[in-house]
Amino acid sequence: MMQTHIIGVGGYLPEHVMSNDDLAKVVDTSDEWIRERTGITQRHIIAKDEYTSDLATRAGAQALEDAGLSINDIDAIVVATTTPDMIFPSTASMVQHKLGGKGFPAWDIQAVCSGFVYGLAQVDGMMRGGMFQRVLLIGAESMSRILDWQDRNTCVLFGDGAGAVVLESRDDEGGIIGSVLHCDGSYRDLLLAKHAHPGASPHNNRLDLNTDAAGVAAVEMKGNEVFRFAVTKLGEVVKEVLEKYDVQQSELDWLVPHQANIRILNATAKKLGLSTEQVALTVAKHANTSAASVPLALNDIYRAGKVKKGQVLLLEAFAGGFAWGANLVRWSK
């Protein structure tokens, strides 16, 4: 039976790092306030001349190199993003071109912070069905471009970056065990970005508070309500995916969660009976990179040599929509 395996991992973070103290210079906040409420100490911010597709291309290239493959070995590219370069064409098509590929399909997925988890489930299903043998899946975001940098309740939470995996279908043990996905649009008003605005353009970086774009309505969030719902639903989806695929909680070696808030991460780990050492934690240095956060967290523990063949990983995320989901993976690389 054909299984979908992760054979390459990559990541990329913009060079510019903004600490909490740096952020306190442009908005009414402090390092202590941000750390206590979120666990975040810094975030990476995209350069004025960079695009989301640039971040995705760098992460994708590293994943291809890690897999020992070239773009010509790939059958499809999927990019999960909330912050595309343009309304159209897709960011994935731009990544394809920048990596030197052509002809094969490339498309975007929009499930906000759950985008990579959704993408992994979608691509796994297509590969099990025989449609593709190798796929490059990327989560990439330039969240700093859709923030109101005068709103301390949202601008402190996010960062920019990209993470990627190369997936291969082969008749070997291990790989993706299965996924569970959910959405409930009735909660959409609790976390949203209402419309396009000048700040979404890569030519107008919203960190420049002297521009007209500063303060334009963008990400809006009712934090307490989102927090409560996220903790509840993540707990439920974790239980659901384990039961559906007959995996015992004690079999889990790693939790690779969406990096939204250290309190949510701790609550989820506690419910699973996992120690801090079994959780991929990057929220402190990356902040919330939306669709990029899960693959970046995976890349972090992978590059550190912490993930071992045969280990079971649980990937999970919660997003605006509300959309949430989880993937189970038996590491085979």
Distance of CA 332 to the CA centre of its chain: 21
Cα gap 331→311, rounded to integer Å: 5
β-strand partners of 168:
5, 134
Per-residue tokens: 302 = 């992978």
Per-residue tokens: 165 = 């995996």
Tokens 């189970």 belong to 328
β-strand partners of 79:
108, 138
Catalytic residue among 113, 205, 261, 299: 113
Question: Mutual orientation of helices 293-303 and 115-128 as an angle, nearest 10°?
Answer: 80
| Among the listed residues 147, 189, 138, 140, the one whose alpha carbon sits nearest the alpha carbon of residue 161 | 140
Which residue blocks in the chain are alpha helix, DSSP H?
20-23, 31-38, 52-67, 91-99, 115-128, 152-155, 223-244, 262-272, 283-286, 293-303
Query: Do 88 and 148 touch, CB atoms closer than 8 A?
Result: no
The H or E element that residue 44 is part of is strand 42-45
Catalytic residue among 5, 20, 155, 258: 258
Cα gap 152→207, rounded to integer Å: 13
Cα gap 195→198, rounded to integer Å: 10
Q: Is 288 a catalytic residue?
A: yes
Cα gap 147→170, rounded to integer Å: 42
Query: Do 59 and 162 touch, CB atoms closer than 8 A?
Result: yes
Distance of CA 219 to the CA centre of its chain: 17
Q: Is 113 a catalytic residue?
A: yes
Catalytic residue among 20, 261, 288, 327: 288
Q: What residues act catalytically?
A: 113, 258, 288
